[in-house]
Structure formats: structure tokens, C-alpha cells
Amino acid sequence: MRYLPHTPEEVSEMLRVIGLPNVDALFETIPPEARQKKDLDLPPALSEPALMRHLDALAEKNRGAKMTSFLGCGIYHHHIPPAVDQLLLRSEFYTAYTPYQPEVAQGTLLAIWQFQTLVSELYGLPLANASLYDGASAAAEGALMARRVTKRNRIIVSECVHPEYQRTIASYLSTTPSDVVTVPRSPSGSHDLERISALLEGDVACVVVGYPSYLGPLSDLRALAARVHEAGALLVATVPEPYALALAESPGALGADIVAGEGQALAVPAQYGGPGVGLFACRDDRTFLQQLPGRVCGETVDQDGKRGYVLTLSTREQHIRRERATSNICTNQGLVALAFTIRCSLLGKSGFQAVARQCLAKAHYLKDALVKLPGVELAFPEATFFNEFCVKVPRAKERAAALEAKGFLAGVELSRYEPALENHLLIAVTEMHTREDLDGFVEALAEALSA
């Protein structure tokens, strides 16, 4: 139950019952010499992120070692204000499941509608659903939706899509008469326009690409969208890092027909890889609306003309759709979607862009410092990137272990996904990293390289 302060009348009544004249009398047993006689010597007020870092630093003195993480690759360490958790703990949200009865669930439905609006604005597409499980399942649902819309069975997936998204797409489509074709990346680490174009035949339902690439590079989708549409196929873009869209043009504006991505970075901390929340949006077309997976909340008016919210579309099998069901999504990540909505509302557009600018500046600062170290080089030196970049490091696993001993998680060693990327580290930088973190990481890596 939320804390409710006592009124002065209640305090007086409690004191009367225990027979004390005032609150100070409660502390008479404390010897006078042990009492605080002057104001506490406190430093000036700090911003919320700075205060949380200070408290973490104090707590780390008890544990002995502080780990500074540069992990990313689809799950990112951004600031999540305590206000998000506090609002999530409201009982009407915390215990809600599905708003089947709109007359008693207007608050939940309004929150879902606001979530959809935010996703629509973020992705630059007019139709959004009420969330899916995570970015990987959202990408798979995008491929399935493209099959239904185009009535074609061939799916082209670029290797710039996150490997776990690729595997999820293949798993979802394994029970359908689909042909999933994987296309190598370009030398710049993004989608390969010419290789994809060569495969655009009449049976292609969609092309799935990463925006940004899971390796960091961010490339224009316009030329690819034009070729995909000429072939009668759809372009599906996957977005692992939503903060990138604060500065980069939205995939919808660049021609993507369906956008699927992960909302964790704007909702919950990085915690053992999850939970996440799948974001999904598509272009405004009746066929697309009828094939949209999951649930859709809509705005309407009641018989008195007052605004209200309802589940406009709900496509799960339990609603007697059986073989006509558009997806196997029977629920969504409602609580994490609400956290996403709260965080976006707290940030606002200017705050969203301010965080992104910090991520961009700090990532490029670290990149510039790292490439000066002997033996370290950028994997994709000509590519544009937001807050994540890939470097080649001699004996990367060994050096990453040495850095971990010094309190740094040095990024994702990419041979776990692709053996050809052995000795490649994918490094993610966010607004949570301080200048001391970045300089300390460079210094630690320099020592490890010289050892």
C-alpha cells in the first residue's frame, strides 16, 4: 500500500493514547551528547541521474567492485527514473491483465492508446498495436504479416538484422510454406542493396533489414525501399535501439512498410536480457489494419458524445478466430509497455533528443580515443553510427577478461554470433557513462594491450 502521511490530528491522538506531550518526547531516551545539534553538512543538490550514480558509488563500497558496462547489442543501459517504478506500482496497473470490459478499464485502455500513439510517432507510421513480447518476436510477426498481405512466401533477411531476431524469424516461419533467404551484409556493416536487389523476384513477400544494423552502422533505407516496392514486396525494418530515432529519420519516413523493434531501452533497466517489449507499427492501409498482429486500442465516443477507449481489434485464437487468427500473440507486455509510455512522457521530445545527443557524443568520443590505441581499429570505418560501434581488438576474449577484472564489461565479443567476427567487440555507450568511465575504459584497455 502506498505511504499516506498522518494528519496533525492523528498524530495528536496517537500521542494522547501513549501519554506523551509531543513528538520530541519520543526521543528523550537518547542521551543529549548523542543527538545531532547542528544541520547536516550536505553537498549541493544533484540531478536525479547524478544522485543515483552517487548512491551507487556509496553502495559499491560495501560490495567491493563496480562494473562499468559497455554491453549493448539489443539491450541497453539507459537511465530509468524511479518515478517509472512508482507509477507502475499503482494497483490498477500492476494487477490488470486484459481490459475486456471497457466501462471499467478506461484508464488501462487510455494508457494503451497513448503507448500506440508514441510508437506511431517514433516509427513514423500511422498504425501501431498494443505491444508484443519483444523485438525478436515483433520482427517475426512483421515477416508473417508481410506474407499475409502480399500472399507470397519468400522472406529475405539481411545479416545486418540481429542474429537472435534472425533465428526467431526462422523459428516462427518454420511451420509455414515459407522460404527464408539470408543475405550477407555489405562491407560497411549494413544491408547490401545490390545483393538484395538481385533476389527481388515475384515471390518475395518482404525484405527485413536492421535500422541501425545490429553491428551499429546506420544507413539510408530510401533506395532499398524503392527497389523493394518496385518488386511488389514490403520493407520490414527492425529497430533494436529506439533512442537512435531521436536523431535519425524515422524508418517510416524512409519507406519502410512495417517497423518492428525493442522498447526496453525506454522502459526497464538491462536485467539478464529481459523483459523487453515489442514495438510494432505499419502503414495506413485497410489490408494492413486487418492483418495487424496482437491487439489494437481505439478511441471512440459513447452515446453521450464523450471520448472513450475500446479494444478495436483483438486477434487472438481464443476469440474464436481459429485458422483466421493473424498471430499467435495471446497477450502482450502490458506492464513494460506502460513503463515505456511513462518514460517517454517524462522525457518529452526535447528530453528524448537531449539523451540521444549525449549518447552520440560520448560514443564518438570513446571511438576516437580507442582507435588511437595500438592494434585497435574500427571494423566499419566509413559507416555512420549512433551509440554503438564495432572494433577489432587482438585476442579480444583475453583482453575482455582482463578488463572485467578491472571492473569493465568491454562490450559483446561477437564470435558468439558469428565465428568470422572473432576478435571483434561491439561497444555500446549511453548517457549513463561519465567522462571518467570512458577515460578509465581506454586506460584499462591500453594496459591490457601492452600486457
3-state secondary structure 241-298: CHHHHHCCCCCCCCCCCEEEEECHHHCCCCCCCCCCCEEEEECCCHHHHHHCCCEEEE
Higher per-residue pLDDT: 248 or 108: 248
The answer to whether residues 442 and 416 belong to one domain is yes
Range in 96-110, 175-189, 311-325, 403-417 with the lowest mean pLDDT: 311-325
**Average confidence (pLDDT) over 363-390:** 97
In the numeric block, the cell 481464443 is attached to: 318
Higher per-residue pLDDT: 184 or 327: 184
Residue-range definition of the domain harbouring residue 285: 82-343
The answer to whether residues 407 and 313 belong to one domain is no
Distance from C-alpha of 61 to C-alpha of 58, rounded to nearest angstrom: 5
The answer to whether residues 440 and 407 belong to one domain is yes
Residue 4: pLDDT band (50, 70, 90) is low
Task: Say if residue 372's pLDDT is above 90.
Answer: yes
Domain final residue, candidates 301, 316, 343: 343
Query: Does residue 445 belong to any structural domain of this protein?
Result: yes
The answer to whether residues 178 and 326 belong to one domain is yes
Higher per-residue pLDDT: 150 or 59: 150
Cα atoms in the 13 Å half-sphere on the side-chain side of 114: 16
For residue 178, report the phi and psi dihedrals to the nearest 5 degrees.
Answer: -110, 155
**Burial of residue 148, with CB atoms counted within 10 A of its CB: 0-12 exposed, 13-18 middle, 19 or more buried:** middle
Range in 16-20, 94-98, 99-103, 297-301 with the lowest mean pLDDT: 94-98
Q: Residues with Cβ < 8 Å from 242, sequence gap 6 or more? A: 122, 261, 262, 263, 265, 266, 279
Q: How many domains does the chain have?
A: 2
The answer to whether residues 297 and 376 belong to one domain is no
3-state secondary structure the chain: CCCCCCCHHHHHHHHHHHCCCCHHHHHCCCCHHHCCCCCCCCCCCCCHHHHHHHHHHHHHHHHCCCCEECCCCCCCCCCCCHHHHHHHCCHHHHCCCCCCCHHHCHHHHHHHHHHHHHHHHHHCCCEECCCECCHHHHHHHHHHHHHHHHCCCEEEEECCCCHHHHHHHHHHHCCCCCEEEEECCCCCCCCCHHHHHHCCCCCEEEEEEECCCCCCECCCCHHHHHHHHHCCCEEEEEECCHHHHHCCCCCCCCCCCEEEEECHHHCCCCCCCCCCCEEEEECCCHHHHHHCCCEEEEEEECCCCCEEEEEEEECCHHHCCHHHCCCCCCCCCHHHHHHHHHHHHHHHHHHHHHHHHHHHHHHHHHHHHHCCCCCCEECCCCCCECCEEEEECCCHHHHHHHHHHCCEECCEEHHHCCHHHCCEEEEECCCCCCHHHHHHHHHHHHHHHHC
The confidence score (pLDDT) of residue 1 equals: 40
For 30-75, the pLDDT digits (tens) are 998 888 888 888 888 999 999 988 888 888 777 545 789 999 999 9
* Pick from 239, 276, 231: nearest CA to 259: 239
The answer to whether residues 336 and 372 belong to one domain is no
The confidence score (pLDDT) of residue 78 equals: 97
Distance from C-alpha of 336 to C-alpha of 263, rounded to nearest angstrom: 9
Task: Say if residue 315's pLDDT is above 70.
Answer: no
Q: Are 428 and 265 in contact (CB under 8 A)?
A: no
Q: Which amino acid is at 288?
A: F
Query: Does residue 26 belong to any structural domain of this protein?
Result: no
The answer to whether residues 210 and 67 belong to one domain is no
The answer to whether residues 202 and 267 belong to one domain is yes
The answer to whether residues 214 and 274 belong to one domain is yes
Whole-number average pLDDT of the chain: 91
For 115-146, the pLDDT digits (tens) are 999 999 999 999 999 999 999 999 999 999 99
Domain final residue, candidates 288, 319, 343: 343
The answer to whether residues 333 and 403 belong to one domain is no
Query: Does residue 29 belong to any structural domain of this protein?
Result: no
Task: Say if residue 163's pLDDT is above 70.
Answer: yes
Query: Does residue 252 belong to any structural domain of this protein?
Result: yes
Query: Does residue 168 belong to any structural domain of this protein?
Result: yes
- Considering the entire predicted model, what is its pTM? 0.85
Query: Does residue 6 belong to any structural domain of this protein?
Result: no
| CATH number of the domain where residue 369 is located | 3.90.1150.10
| CATH number of the domain where residue 293 is located | 3.40.640.10
Task: Say if residue 281's pLDDT is above 60.
Answer: yes
Higher per-residue pLDDT: 4 or 33: 33
The answer to whether residues 147 and 113 belong to one domain is yes
Please state whether 348 falls in left (phi above 0), alpha (psi between -120 and 50) or beta: left
Q: How far is CA 193 from the centre of its chain?
A: 27
Query: Does residue 389 belong to any structural domain of this protein?
Result: yes
Domain final residue, candidates 343, 373, 408: 343
- Quote the Cα angle for 38-40-45, to 5°: 145
Task: Say if residue 318's pLDDT is above 50.
Answer: no
Query: Does residue 421 belong to any structural domain of this protein?
Result: yes
The answer to whether residues 398 and 256 belong to one domain is no
* Pick from 274, 282, 278, 280: nearest CA to 256: 282
Residue 256: pLDDT band (50, 70, 90) is very high
